[in-house]
Structure 1
Amino acid sequence: MDNIQNFFERLVRENIKILSDNLVGIYLHGSAAMGCFNPQKSDIDIITVVKDELTDDVKINFMDMVIDFNNEAPAKGLEISIVKEAVCNPFIYPTPFELHFSNMHLDWYMKNPTDYVKKMKGTDKDLAAHFKIIYHRGRTLYGKEIKDVFCDISEEYYKDSILNDIINAIEEILDNPVYIILNLCRVLAYVQEKFILSKEEGAEWGILNLPGKYRNLIRAALDEYKNNINMHVNKELALEYAKYMLSCIYKCC
């Protein structure tokens, strides 16, 4: 994307039109907030906070707007959750959400919008990790300041959230090697040293701190993530790495 700031400004304007006085704020997390956004590899991660529940009609209007912006977004698209201000502080875990969208749900919405907005509501453990990133490293796109909306997430909830995200790392590493390799680095960096890192920063930490035999694997994943250089995955080494990292992570927990 040539002008991501313009994209955010237009997205904010459309949020204001649709959500009006119900809108508390719009908050950016993930790579776009932490300085390692790559249009070929990154999605755009947003949390929208509202005061009150949304009607189904408002949800459909919001989703139609999101689909339009998703068509402009990088290949991985937008990932957006709407939450109520009341669940942010004091924090509720697992965290209730009012609406969620990512590319994996695109077909469902396009085929049956009414069904989607009625059923796409529940709780999401991932929101604890997203809120933690927002609190420490996020960016306010619109509305109240971050620390007026969010509290710092306790270590108990944050750990549970990030551990939930890696629970299937061994099964998933060969299908999604870049994400799993880099994500395991940043999770270990947190449980060992309390660092809150992006995937890129996690890889750099791993290269400095993990056994030498894994460094080329991490470098290759980082090269693909940053520079779009396709990595060749040594399957045996990747599986060994996932087992090693999970062992280290769980030992620390």
Structure 2
Amino acid sequence: MPYNWVTCSPPEVRGFVFNLLGGIKEIIKEDFIGFYLHGSLAMGGFNPKSSDIDILVVSNKSLTVKTKRDLAKLLLASSNNPFPLELSVLTIKQLRDWKHPCPFDFHYSEWWRACYEKDLAKGTSHYLNDEIKTDPDLAAHITILNHRGICIEGNPIMEVFPSVPRFDYLSSIMGDFQDCLEGIEEDPIYCTLNLLRVLWYINDDVISSKQEAGNWGIAALPLDVRYTIQKVLMCYESTTIKYDFEKKELLRIRDFIESRILELLR
């Protein structure tokens, strides 16, 4: 059964998050403005066996390369021990001068593990440097944070984060939508639920978790795709249930969602 931070988050999840918060504050020191939770743990769909913990950190000014290296060490030691992390650090100026795709100061996910380990081991700066990068996903992360996120410590969300224009949010989620159209056979659980999230938003302006979108799909969509959604949702919610998915059923739901979205966007 997925968990919610406020009502039923297991003690080990809370301990993990607060230990990470303490480590980040120790590194960023007086430039720390806030530590914010978004994603499945904030919205009540967190599965300890499969979900990331999604965090945004805001600092008063850009981090030095040394600070980035210290953060990388902390996150390499923390992520997947036991929960994987996806974390971005943004400055208050980057948020106030809103642009899409949004610039950020530092980012960590497991995708970056090998790159950061290499820089730290060899003393290089190929990935841990002063370069300011942008991330189109931040428009979606910040929108979800504004609607469903949690301030763990620091200034309130509404004082720190901008209201992201609807067009920017739509642009952000449509990028992932295209990836899911192509990847549904390789990752049917994530891709099906994410496609449903996009459809629900475009259909009804609802910002939802993957679990909520799956339940909506079962209730609202035609019978010929509901059985597949039920299997997907049961796999997502359980640590033991596994189903095999036939190619034709995955393509059926993919094509149905894509055609419905194209109709709604016309």
Same fold flag (TM > 0.5): yes
Partner Cα separation in structure 2 for residue 96 and residue 142 of structure 1: 23
Matched, 1:240 2:252: yes
Matched, 1:84 2:96: no
The secondary structure found in structure 1 opposite 2:229 is helix
Partner of 2:3: none
Partner Cα separation in structure 2 for residue 252 and residue 45 of structure 1: 30
Residue of structure 2 aligned with 1:115, choices 118, 126, 130: 126
Cα deviation per residue 1:7-64 (whole Å; 9 max; x = unaligned)? 1211111111100111111110001101111011100000111121111110000110
Partner Cα separation in structure 2 for residue 100 and residue 213 of structure 1: 41
Whether the aligned pair in 1 keeps the contact of 2:47 and 2:237 (CA below 8 Å) is yes
Moved over 6 A (4+): none
Moved more, 238-247 or 182-191: 238-247
Matched, 1:12 2:24: no
TM normalised by structure 1 equals 0.95
Partner Cα separation in structure 1 for residue 257 and residue 106 of structure 2: 33
Indicate how the Cα distance of structure 1 residues 120 and 177 shifts in structure 2: closer, same or farther if over 3 A, else same: farther
Partner of 1:32: 41
Q: Which runs of 5+ in 2 are unaligned?
A: 1-9
Moved more, 189-198 or 9-18: 9-18
Partner of 1:94: 101
Matched, 1:42 2:51: yes
Deviation at residue 98 of structure 1 after TM alignment: 0.9
Deviation at residue 94 of structure 1 after TM alignment: 0.7
Whether the aligned pair in 2 keeps the contact of 1:93 and 1:128 (CA below 8 Å) is yes
Deviation at residue 87 of structure 1 after TM alignment: 2.4
Whether the aligned pair in 2 keeps the contact of 1:191 and 1:252 (CA below 8 Å) is yes
Partner of 2:235: 224
Kindly report which structure 2 residues correspond to 1:52-201, keeping only aligned pairs within 5 A, or say none: 52-74=61-83, 77-113=84-120, 114-118=125-129, 121-201=132-212
The aligned amino acid for 1:215 is R
Deviation at residue 246 of structure 1 after TM alignment: 1.5
Deviation at residue 121 of structure 1 after TM alignment: 4.1
Partner Cα separation in structure 2 for residue 144 and residue 91 of structure 1: 18
Partner Cα separation in structure 1 for residue 211 and residue 78 of structure 2: 26
Cα deviation per residue 1:69-92 (whole Å; 9 max; x = unaligned)? 114132xx1001111112223532
The aligned amino acid for 2:219 is L
Aligned-CA RMSD value = 1.5
Deviation at residue 120 of structure 1 after TM alignment: 7.0
Whether the aligned pair in 2 keeps the contact of 1:24 and 1:51 (CA below 8 Å) is yes
The aligned amino acid for 2:199 is L
The secondary structure found in structure 1 opposite 2:128 is helix
Number of residue equivalences: 251
Whether the aligned pair in 1 keeps the contact of 2:36 and 2:56 (CA below 8 Å) is yes
Indicate how the Cα distance of structure 1 residues 119 and 217 shifts in structure 2: closer, same or farther if over 3 A, else same: farther
Moved more, 142-151 or 113-122: 113-122
Whether the aligned pair in 1 keeps the contact of 2:103 and 2:133 (CA below 8 Å) is yes
TM normalised by structure 2 equals 0.90
Indicate how the Cα distance of structure 1 residues 71 and 162 shifts in structure 2: closer, same or farther if over 3 A, else same: closer
Partner Cα separation in structure 2 for residue 193 and residue 148 of structure 1: 27
Q: Which runs of 5+ in 1 are unaligned?
A: none
Partner Cα separation in structure 2 for residue 92 and residue 50 of structure 1: 18
